[in-house]
Amino acid sequence: MKKIRFASVIFMVSLLLTATSWAQGMDQQAGGVRGIKDQATAQGNDYQALSLEDCLALAHKYNPVLGASREKIRELVADYDAARSQFFPRLVLVSYYERLAPDRLSPGGPAVGGPLFSLETLNSVTGKQIIFDGLRTYYSSRAAKIGIGAQKLEVQRTGDEVTFTVVEAFYRLIEAKENLKVAQEALLQRQDFARLTEAFFKAGKVTRLDSFRAQSQVSEAEQAKVEAGNAVRLAREILSRTLGLKEQVEVDIRGQLPQQFAPTGNIESLWQEALKNNPEIKSLDLGIEQSQASIKAARGRYFPEISLQGSAGVRHRNVGGTEPDWLFGVFMEYPFFEGGLTKAQVAKASSQKLQLLEKKRDFLNSLKVDLTSAWKDQENARQGVVTSRQTITTNEEAYASAQTLYRYGKAIGLDVLQAQVELTNSRFNFIKYAVAYEIAQARIKQVVGSGLSKSYQGNDIGGQK
């Protein structure tokens, strides 16, 4: 009996250990599943704390305009391959089956020596290698290759334009959020003053007009807060659409206003740098060079085409049997009348070159205006920041003095309200000038072509990655 009981105890212990190990395995498996889910959640797209560098990275990945500009390169590469293909021989497989009237006239007159064949088949390979075509193929492939280089510069220009748009949208969102903070602070100040005015009115120290004025200022501050909140929502939507995100998600940033405002460089040196580095100027120069190659390619049609052609195959006739068939020789084609086709193509290429020359001249004029305007905006914003900082300090002191004098009955409520309005406006002005400075600086970099996208790499302004 003891042995039976001891065996039963061992069996129960082993069963318990097995169940425990099974439960632990299930817990580990469940923990692994939860870990995978947590990892997937952690790897999900989070667009709530984007820095400026993050916004630029997303825009360069998802912006549709930039994506289409990159795809254009592949199209031009295909054009180059198509133009270059004329350098290689062209091989064609020819096969046909033909039935003819047996009582037809022979090429040399009436049939002599028997009937003519009435069935013919041919299977052959025909090849053509152009030896000389007036250098059309050379200049066409050269023009296509130049077009690829021009499109790469166009991608760079589009990238700078997208970068500037993202920078502007980013700082507009910062401006809207800072304005909302100022509006909220102004609302709290005016609510406190309205309560103080109401208490003074009940104590008989001020008139009902002061209380009405204070309440009116509270209503205006509430309206300003609502408008600032709507501006924040609009700025977020603009930034999201600028980034070109495929997901319908909300975008938010963590940012602050710039703190350093360096003076702008000399405009003449900036202009010389723009003439040297602006990608659109380089693209126009390559376009002019491409049009020159296109003119030479079109003029090549005035010359004859000399080619080496040959064919080899098997020809079968019902009269005469089956025999090998081959052909080899040098051919020259010279179209002496095309209805003015070549002349029209040369005129079209020449017109395109003149259009590009005029477009470049117009672009240089507008570029100088854009550079001067951006330089002016940045200098005005920099001076506005200095002035608004001093104004904020003055208005803060004036607001504090007006409150103190009002509490002691040496100032009226209108003085305090006026000081509040001036302080709020000066804070709005500082935000406006600080944001305008950054936007103008980005615009100058875009015009100059000094690598706008690279200038913000490693710059964690406005948030965390």
23-42 pLDDT, tens digit per residue, is 454 444 444 434 433 333 33
112-134 pLDDT, tens digit per residue, is 556 788 899 999 999 999 999 99
Distances from the Cα of 314 to the Cα of 97, 119, 319, 326, angstroms: 12, 14, 15, 8
Q: What is the DSSP letter of 43?
A: T
Domains of the chain: 52-455 (1.20.1600.10)
Residue 3: pLDDT over 80 = no
- pTM > 0.85: yes or no: no
407-449 pLDDT, tens digit per residue, is 888 888 888 889 999 999 999 999 999 999 999 999 999 999 8
pLDDT band at 337 (very low <50, low <70, confident <90, very high): confident
341-365 pLDDT, tens digit per residue, is 999 999 999 999 999 999 999 999 9
Q: What is the DSSP letter of 264?
A: P
φ/ψ of 113, rounded to 5, equals: 85, 15
**Residue 12 burial (CB < 10 Å; 0-12/13-18/19+)?**
exposed
Mean pLDDT throughout 203-212? 82
Single-letter code of the amino acid located at 311:
S
Rounded-to-integer distance, Cα 366 and Cα 280, Å: 12
CA 310 to chain centre: 51
φ/ψ of 111, rounded to 5, equals: -65, 135
| The two three-digit tokens of residue 283, written as one number | 């693209």
| The two three-digit tokens of residue 40, written as one number | 């997937």
| The two three-digit tokens of residue 15, written as one number | 């069963």
Report the candidate in 259, 279, 255 with the shortest Cα–Cα distance to residue 53: 255
> 124 has which bridge partners?
94, 313
φ/ψ of 81, rounded to 5, equals: -65, -35
| The two three-digit tokens of residue 92, written as one number | 């064609």
Residue entry with tokens 């700082």: 171
**Residue 300 burial (CB < 10 Å; 0-12/13-18/19+)?**
buried
